[in-house]
Amino acid sequence: MLLTGASGFIGRHLVQALVASQHRVICASRHARQSENPQIRTIGADFTRDFDIDTWLPRVRDVDVVINAVGIIRERGAQTFEAIHERAPAALFAACAASSVRLVIQISALGADEHAQSAYHRSKKSADDFLSRLPVHAVIVQPSLVYGPGGTSARLFNTLASLPLIGLPGNGGQAIQPVHIDDLVAAIIALLDRPPTSGTRVALVGPRAVTLRCFLGALRRAMGMGRARFVPVPIGFMRAAASAASRLPGSLLDAETLQMLERGNTASPAQITALLGHEPRAPKQFIARRDMRAERLQAQLGWLLPLLRVSIALVWIVTGIVSLGVYPVADSYALLARVGISGMLAPVMLYGAALLDLVFGIATLALRRRRLLWLAQIAVIVFYSIIISWRLPEFWLHPYGPLLKNLPMLAAIWLLLEVEER
C-alpha cells in the first residue's frame, strides 16, 4: 500500500491505523525518514514538482492500494493548489491506472463539488473528477472539518473556545459538521475491505450539523471551562480582517477560508455511520476526560503566549521611544553621570540603548525564531539591573518599583524561552 502525505496530520494517523491492521505501508512524503518498523517503508515524493507519470510508475509498481492524503489549506511559495491538489495527483492517478493498483482512495474535501467557489475546493474537485474518469477503481472521501489531537484545526478552535470573550463572524450561525480524526481513519480502514462502486464520493462528517457558536461552546465545556461569552463581529469587519490576515505567514484566516465557513460544510452522516457500524462521535465527545486539563492549558497558551509577547514588545518599544526624547534628555544625562558615564560617551550610550530597546521590541513581533533574542534580552536586563543596583541602589526602594519590575519581566521572558517551539 502506498500512502502519500504520510507526514501530514491525517497521514500520520492513517499510518498508525494501517500498521495496527497489519498492512505494509510505503510512506511517501517530501522529507522521507526511514522507519524502524518493518511494516513501514519510506520514499521521497515532492508534490511541487512530481508532475510526470513516469516519476510515479516505479513508485506504484506492485502496489495494491494507493491512498492520497496530500493537501494544503493555503498556498505558500511552490506549494500551490494547482501543484499539490491537481498536477501531482493527476500524474499519480494516471500511473495507478497504468499499473496493477486495485484501489485508489482520494482524500478530498466536503464542498469540492459543482458549487465550489474557493480555489481550494475547485482544485480538489478537479483532481476528483480526473480520477473518476480513469479506468481504475477509485473512491473519493470528502471529510468535513477534521478535529483531532495535534491538528491545526483543533488547536485553532480550542484556542478560540478558551477565550474570555469569543468573537463570532456575524451571529456564529454558520453550519459545520466536524468529524473526529479517529472516526475518519476508521472509516477509511473500513473502505479498504468493502469499497463502494468506483467513483463514489463518501462524505465523512459528524453525526449532525451544528452552528459555529454551538461547536465552540461544546469544546469549551469539554475542556472544563465556564460558560462561553460570545461577541458578534460584523461580517464586513470579518472580511476586512480576513483580507489583512492573509498577509500573515501561518494564518488560517483569509478571504477564502471565511467564504468556505460562510457557505457551510454539512452532509448526511449515513455513509460514515454505515462504515463505522455506529454513529460518529459528537463535538462534546471530541476531548477525552483524561485529556481535559492538558487541552485546556494548551488552548489558553494559544492566546496567552502571543499576548505576553506583544506586551513585552511594547515595553521595549515604549521604553526606546521615551528614552529618545520624551523623557527630558538632561535628566537622562544626569542619571548616566551618576553611574559614571558622561561627556561624549553619554549621548552614545543614551541613544544606543534607546535604539537597542526599539530593535528588541520590533524583533519580538517580527521574528519567528526567538531563542537568541530572549537570551539577549535577559542579558541586557540583568546587566542594567546590576549597574543600577551598584550605582543607584535607591531605585530598589522607589515607590514605583522600577527595578523590582525587572523580576516579572525576566520571569516572563524566561517562560517564553522555555515553552516556545525552537
Pairing of strands 200-204, 25-29: unpaired
Give the whole-angstrom CA distance, residue 166 versus residue 218.
Answer: 13
Average pLDDT of the segment spanning 64-70: 97
Q: Is 63 a residue whose pLDDT tops 70?
A: yes
pLDDT value for 268: 97
pLDDT at 182 over 90: yes
- Residue closest to 286 by CA, chosen among 268, 299, 275, 300: 299
Residue 409 has pLDDT above 90, yes or no: yes
| Any domain includes 108 | no
Q: How far lies 184's CA from each of 73, 188, 195, in Å?
A: 18, 6, 15
Look at 30-44, 179-193, 311-325 and tell me which has the smallest mean pLDDT: 30-44
- If one counts the domains in the chain, the total is 1
- pLDDT tens digits for 263-281? 888 999 999 999 999 999 9
- Domain, as residue range, for 413: 303-419
Residue 167 belongs to a domain: no
Give a yes or no: residue 72 inside a domain: no
Q: Give 225-263 pLDDT, tens digit per residue.
A: 989 999 999 989 998 988 887 777 667 778 888 888 888
Is-contact 176 111, C-beta < 8 A? Answer: no
**Arithmetic mean of pLDDT over the chain:** 93
Three-class SS state of 38: coil
For residue 245, the model assigns a pLDDT of: 79
331-373 pLDDT, tens per residue?
999 999 999 999 999 999 999 999 999 999 999 999 988 999 9
With 80 as the cut, is the pLDDT of residue 38 above it? yes
Beta strands in 259-329 (DSSP E): none
pLDDT over 60 at 422, yes or no: no
Overall average pLDDT of the 75-103 stretch: 95
Predicted confidence (pLDDT) at residue 34 exceeds the cutoff of 90? no
pLDDT at 250: 66
Q: Is residue 42 in some structural domain?
A: no
User: Tell me: the pLDDT tens digits for 91-119?
Assistant: 999 999 999 899 999 999 999 999 898 99
pLDDT of residue 13: 96
Give the pLDDT confidence score for residue 263 in this predicted structure: 86
pLDDT bin (cut points 50, 70, 90) of residue 31 is confident
User: pLDDT tens digit string along 109-151?
Assistant: 999 999 898 999 999 999 999 999 999 999 999 999 999 988 9
pLDDT of residue 21: 93
pLDDT higher than threshold 70 for residue 12: yes
